[in-house]
Amino acid sequence: MDASDGGLLDSLVLRAQGAMEAALRGASLCSVSRDPCRGATDVKVCEGRWYTLRDIQRDLERGLEPQAALAAAAERVESRTPSGPAWVDYRRGAQEGLDLARSVLETAAH
């Protein structure tokens, strides 16, 4: 992975973080998760997307090749067993993050 690939992923991570912060509207993740009236669906989707992108970014920083980082992230997303609506939303966001990262990293490789 060269610097431009990392820059694209960095941009995705920052955008995902901004979307999560906007969805939180100043609340903490814990308080939103406990109160379904506070827009937990949007927040959990954003959280799952951000966390997965950040997870891939960390793996790349540790020296994993892009395909290995994507495979590891996909395995982690699949291994999470949602229990309740918040986890279903989180996992949906995690899958979105994985798809975004895959698109960026696979496009950059060609």
Residue 65: domain span: 3-109
Secondary structure element (H or E) that encloses residue 34, with its range? helix 29-34
Place of tokens 């992230």: 73
The whole model's pTM is what? 0.80
d(Cα 52, Cα 92) in Å, to the nearest integer?
11
Which tens digit of pLDDT belongs to each residue from 72-90?
Answer: 999 999 898 778 888 888 9
d(Cα 52, Cα 57) in Å, to the nearest integer?
9
Cα separations (Å) of 38 from 19, 25, 77?
A: 15, 9, 25
Do residues 1 and 10 lie in contact, with contact meaning Cβ atoms separated by under 8 Å?
no
Provide the number of structural domains found in the chain.
Answer: 1
Which tens digit of pLDDT belongs to each residue from 24-79?
Answer: 887 777 766 666 555 678 888 999 999 999 999 999 999 999 999 999 999 999 89
